[in-house]
Amino acid sequence: MKYLIVDDCAHTRWLLKKRLLQKWPSAEIEEYDPAVSGLPDPRYPWSRHDIVLLDYDLGLDAETGIDLLVRIKDSPHPPIVIMVTGMGNENVAVNAIRKGADDYLVKNDVATDRLFEMISDAVRARETAAQSADAAADVRRELGDWDIPGYRCLAVVAKGLSTTTLRAERLSDHKPVILKVLQIQKNGGNATAVKRFTQEIEILSRLHHPHVIEILDHGHIGDRIHYYATEYIHLGDLARCIERGGVTTARALDYVSQIASGLEALHRQNIVHRDVKPSNILFKDRDTLVIADLGIAKNLAGVEALTVMGDILGTPYYISPEQINNRPVDQRTDIYSLGVMFYELLTGRVPYAGNSLFAVVYQHNHEPVPKLPPPLARYQPVLERMLAKSPEQRYSDMGEVMNALAAVGT
């Protein structure tokens, strides 16, 4: 790390240099006395330093450290600047920060660890900003020259054929969010994709439930870009939790009950999710799950199903027999998929697996429900009904599922 100490006091320069070398022996440190040399030349290459420790009182008749601070920050690729002063003046501190200082240090703190903490924090903040800028540049290269009004896009989370999921920041309050963006190609794009995306927005907009992800905003830019923002949930999904193992029986029952509650809210709106699987169940906090990704949900009130075959066959472990066979679906389809997840949470594996897609599909259609280990046998009757091949033999709704789970208990 390369430092420049700008101060008219030789003792302060000596003390700063000594302290920096105590902490970072390999640091490269230069000193500059403005009382002797005046202000540096306007063409001075400030970018060759990583950090400038700048005194407020430079010992000059007219200029202060604030004047030099402005010049430094206006230079190409400016370094970190920490304003150092013997005055505990709050107005000086506020003015320095407003003019671009990265932090402000009273000289009495030079002899304390506050100096090291401030430098470390400033370096960390600079690195974070650089990473964010790089991520934003990656987003720009990935998506082209467009912006979502009111948001700063930070990173690409996932990218599909027509939609892109982004981690972003809402500019009005710096709230972290997830943006899901649909881009329509210049040739007109896919009408089905637009219908699916619009339907997902409509579903989320009218639902307010603790176990369904909340939509914060939505809109479009012309005819080619549609988007919506949801709360940013960074604690991972249920799939990762299952992969790590160690889900207790009590926890499995709680998770299934929470998901059933959220699905019941969807079903009351005549919506079938149709893609219930662990990767679509997110942890809002350590104990609370929310249902996400309603991209292939179906409105039972009359909107046509918007399923593309690849959507459901891409994750065959949780698909219902009626989906496989292209038969009518209702809320009992979600009960089947939740039954698969219940079995997986209890045992750590899905009930139907195989070396090929067709092997898994065949088992969904023809194989009996695998038996649970003896300590879990009391849940077998519940699973048998949830995973019945015929929808008519399953529970009729999620309320019945939750009642059955509560009756069996832990």
Cα gap 159→187, rounded to integer Å:
20
Of 200, 212, 377, nearest in space to 281 by CA: 212
Cα gap 171→349, rounded to integer Å:
43
Cα gap 255→39, rounded to integer Å:
66
Of 223, 140, 234, 139, nearest in space to 182 by CA: 223
* Helix H or strand E segment including 336: helix 331-347
E-only strand ranges, 276-397: 281-285, 288-291, 298-299
The region that residue 274 occupies, defined by phi over 0 for left and psi between -120 and 50 for alpha, beta otherwise, is left
Structure tokens at 47: 């970018």
Q: Which of 102, 275, 334, 397 is catalytic?
A: 275
Name residue 165's beta-bridge partners. Answer: 158, 180
Q: Which residue has the tokens 């400033």?
A: 122
Cα gap 245→390, rounded to integer Å:
31
Question: What would you measure as the largest C-alpha separation in the chain, in angstroms?
Answer: 92
What length is written for the chain? 410
Q: CB neighbours of 309 closer than 8 A, spacing ≥ 6? A: none
Cα gap 95→101, rounded to integer Å:
9
Cα gap 147→164, rounded to integer Å:
13
Q: CB neighbours of 374 closer than 8 A, spacing ≥ 6? A: none
Structure tokens at 402: 């939750």
Name residue 272's beta-bridge partners. Answer: 298
Residue 275 a catalytic site member: yes
Cα gap 226→220, rounded to integer Å:
4
> SS3 letters for 7-22?
CCCHHHHHHHHHHHHH
Cα gap 265→284, rounded to integer Å:
17
Return the ∠ at Cα 291 (arms to 207 and 295), rounded to 5°. 80
Residues labelled as active-site residues = 275
